[in-house]
């Protein structure tokens, strides 16, 4: 019997899948990578002749104020956020269910809007001090006036009241996931009830606490309106003033590069705070902790404590803005500039949202199609822009945008017509800045939606002859539309509230609601900006409603 032997070629080494989807993901990842590289080139290519002046008069104050502000805001947000999360998780009292979502309301009000409202509320002739003088029998601010909230203390409290929900969200989710068995075991071993939070719950929630505090600090570092209104000269304010007031772009780029290094250090600190912490919710199907019932005056006190940050962080400034907007509308109606600014805001936010959602879906789908290649890494790189302050993003984009405008001008010269500043003049540069800043939301929303479809569906679609594009259109997008829609709403609202990037790279004579409010507050004409502030706050309530519905649905599944 003859035995035939086949000589087979040795198995080839797997090739790196680098097809059109991976190339698209690489191009999307370049959106945040190129501005950072351009920022470094602008900073290093500029003259360092102004550094002695910056080092002597600008940077010491900016670094000191930024460090104090971030330390204060981080501590304030951690205390208020953790305390609120433990209050609604460990105790049951009348009004707790409503308080759970009301504690998210400060997310709806941007920091600069809150500063605008509280500066007007606490003005010596404002309603708060006027009411107190009337109650105490005084008739003049010379007889009685409250301390000015302008300054570091006021900025820490105000930013902390607006940003604590980041800590509340992450820490409360961890508290809800903790098993009642751990708490009961600690009580059996003699741990008093009052020490359970300090010795058991909080150490287990340390990773969530580090994440929430880092998010709050990044938002505080990105702030420019509230800090400037309150007289705190942070690094972000220094970047803006160095560029706009001193007309020194290389100097602003150099400060921005140092600021980017600071953000990187902040991210590493957050990672260090979560190092090796993988046990906070390790128990599967764990029995949730039963909250202790508070009745009588204890329940009333708990509700009052929980409502305090909601009152100061949202209800008081939002009510004041609504009253002032009503007075303005009753006196002058809806002015033409406001209507135009609403249209500008909606238009640019809609375009930016469409771009972010589309790019995020492509990057996330490429990572799903090619999990063994570089596409997942490109999706992570595309999400880096969310950690970069808007001022840094804009300064990094100026070089590439200027190069594109020069290219358009050269091409136009070949055909005998002038193109002008195509990118900056059309608002394309502004949309690009928004895309870099908020692409992480688009990628995250698409990844969450695509995860709903099992990988078997991809194989079935290929078996039936569908291309990846057809499978995306017919299978994945319908299944992921809820998550993508939620991400789109979040992007739209964030674009509406974004102030630093809009201030720095918007076209000439192009005003949005955020820039209009900033201009009015800078001039001291607070009442003229009330309508714009009210619209921003009203739209900002939308993601809060989404977050509360997500939390309600998650609790219903437990």
Interatomic CA distance for residues 20 and 472, integer angstroms: 15
Within a domain: 125:
no
Residue 153 contacts residue 69 (beta carbons within 8 Å): no
CATH code of residue 463: 1.10.3720.10
Give all strands (DSSP E) within 446-538, no chain letters: none
> Which pLDDT score, from 0 to 100, does residue 179 have?
58
pLDDT of residue 281: 45
98-121 mean pLDDT: 89
| Percent over 70 (pLDDT), the chain | 83
In a domain, 64, yes or no: no
CA-to-CA dists, residue 128 to 18, 109, 478, angstroms: 63, 20, 52
**In-domain check, residue 426:** yes
Q: In the chain, how many domains are there?
A: 1
| Residue in 72, 98, 100 with CA at minimum distance from that of residue 85 | 100
**By C-alpha distance, which of 9, 19, 17, 38 is closest to 432?**
38
Instruction: Report how many helices (DSSP H) and strands (DSSP E) the chain contains, helices first.
Output: 27, 2
Residue 556 has pLDDT above 70, yes or no: no
Mean pLDDT of 35-50: 74
Give the C-alpha separation, 114 to 159, whole Å: 8
Q: Report if residue 494 sits inside a domain.
A: yes
Candidates 384, 515, 487, 491; CA nearest to 434 is 491
More confident: 117 or 264? 117
Q: What domain range includes position 519?
A: 20-35+330-558
Cα 426 to chain centroid, rounded: 26
Instruction: Specify if 356 maps to a domain.
Output: yes
- Residue 537 in domain: yes
Ramachandran assignment for 95, one of left (phi > 0), alpha (psi -120 to 50 degrees), beta (any other): left
Residue range 224-239, pLDDT digits in tens: 888 888 888 888 888 8
Distance CA 172, CA 82 (A): 8
pLDDT of residue 239: 83
d(CA 382, CA 29): 4
Q: What is the mean pLDDT of the chain?
A: 80
Asked, for residue 214, whether it belongs to a domain, the answer is: no
Q: What pLDDT was estimated at residue 276?
A: 53
Whole-number pLDDT of residue 312: 94
User: For residues 379 and 450, what is the distance between their CA atoms, to the nearest angstrom?
Assistant: 14
pLDDT of residue 336: 67
- In this structure, of 463-477, 485-499, 503-517, the range with the lowest mean pLDDT score is 463-477
Q: Which of 12, 1, 26, 21 is nearest to 382 (CA)?
A: 26
CB atoms within 10 A of CB 88: 24
Domain-embedded: residue 40: no
**pLDDT confidence band for 484 (50 / 70 / 90):** confident
What's the rounded Cα separation, in Å, for the pair 528 and 11? 73
Which is more confidently placed, 158 or 225? 158
SS (H, E, C) 416-435: CCCCCCHHHHHCHHHHHHHH
For 111-169, the DSSP string reads: HHHHHHHHHHHTSTTSHHHHHHHHHHT--STTT--PPP--SHHHHHHHHHHHHHHHHHH
Q: Which secondary structure element, helix H or strand E, spans residue 293, and what is its range?
A: strand 292-293
pLDDT of 20: 81
Tell me the mean pLDDT in the region 286-304: 82
| Confidence band, pLDDT 50/70/90 cuts, at residue 2 | very low
β partners of residue 288: 179
β-sheet bridge partners, residue 293: 92
């Amino acid at each position: 019997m003859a035995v035939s032997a086949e000589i087979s070629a040795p198995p080839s080494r797997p090739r790196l899948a680098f097809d059109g989807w991976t190339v698209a993901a690489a191009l999307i990842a370049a959106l945040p990578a190129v501005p950072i590289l351009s920022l470094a080139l602008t900073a290093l290519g500029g003259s360092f002749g102004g550094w002695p002046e910056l080092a002597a008069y600008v940077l010491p104050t900016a670094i000191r104020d930024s460090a104090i502000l971030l330390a204060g805001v981080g501590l304030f947000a951690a205390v208020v956020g953790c305390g609120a999360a433990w209050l609604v998780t460990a105790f049951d009292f009348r009004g707790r269910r409503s308080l759970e979502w009301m504690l998210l309301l400060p997310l709806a009000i941007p920091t600069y809007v809150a500063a605008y409202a509280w500066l007007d509320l606490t003005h010596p002739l404002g309603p708060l001090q006027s009411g107190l003088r009337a109650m105490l029998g005084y008739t003049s601010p010379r007889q009685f006036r409250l301390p000015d909230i302008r300054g570091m203390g006021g900025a820490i409290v105000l930013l902390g009241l607006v940003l604590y929900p980041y800590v509340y969200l992450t820490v409360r989710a961890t508290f809800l996931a903790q098993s009642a068995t751990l708490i009961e075991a600690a009580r059996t071993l003699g741990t008093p009830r009052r020490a359970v939070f300090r010795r058991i719950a909080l150490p287990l929630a340390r990773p969530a606490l580090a994440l929430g505090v880092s998010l709050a600090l990044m938002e505080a570092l990105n702030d420019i309106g509230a800090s400037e209104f309150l007289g705190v000269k942070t690094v972000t304010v220094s970047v803006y003033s160095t560029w706009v007031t001193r007309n020194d772009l290389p100097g602003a780029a150099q400060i921005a590069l140092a600021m980017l290094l600071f953000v990187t250090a902040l991210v590493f600190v957050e990672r260090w705070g979560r190092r090796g912490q993988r046990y906070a919710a390790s128990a599967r199907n764990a029995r949730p902790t039963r909250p202790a019932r508070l009745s009588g005056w204890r329940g009333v006190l708990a509700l009052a404590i929980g409502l305090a940050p909601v009152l100061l962080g949202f209800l008081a400034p939002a009510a004041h803005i609504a009253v002032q907007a009503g007075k303005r509308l009753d006196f002058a109606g809806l002015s033409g500039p406001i209507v135009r600014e609403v249209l500008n805001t909606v238009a640019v936010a809609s375009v930016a949202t469409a771009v972010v959602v589309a790019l995020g879906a492509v990057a996330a789908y490429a990572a799903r199609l090619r999990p063994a290649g570089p596409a997942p890494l490109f999706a992570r790189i595309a999400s880096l822009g969310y950690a970069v302050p808007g001022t840094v993003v804009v300064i990094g984009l100026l070089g590439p945008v200027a190069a594109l405008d020069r290219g358009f001008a050269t091409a136009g010269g070949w055909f005998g017509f002038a193109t002008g500043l195509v990118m900056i003049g059309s608002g394309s540069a502004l949309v690009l800045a928004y895309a870099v800043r908020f692409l992480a939301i688009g990628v995250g929303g698409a990844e969450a939606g695509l995860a709903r479809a099992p990988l078997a569906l991809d194989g079935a679609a290929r078996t039936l002859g569908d291309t990846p594009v057809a499978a995306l259109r017919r299978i994945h997008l319908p299944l992921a539309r809820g998550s993508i829609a939620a991400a789109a709403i979040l992007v739209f609202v964030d674009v509406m509230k974004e102030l630093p990037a809009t201030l720095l790279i918007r076209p000439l004579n192009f005003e949005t609601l955020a820039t209009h409010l900033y201009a009015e507050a800078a001039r001291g004409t607070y009442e003229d900006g009330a309508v714009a502030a009210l619209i921003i706050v009203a739209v900002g309530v939308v993601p809060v409603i989404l977050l509360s519905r997500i939390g309600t649905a998650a609790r219903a599944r437990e």
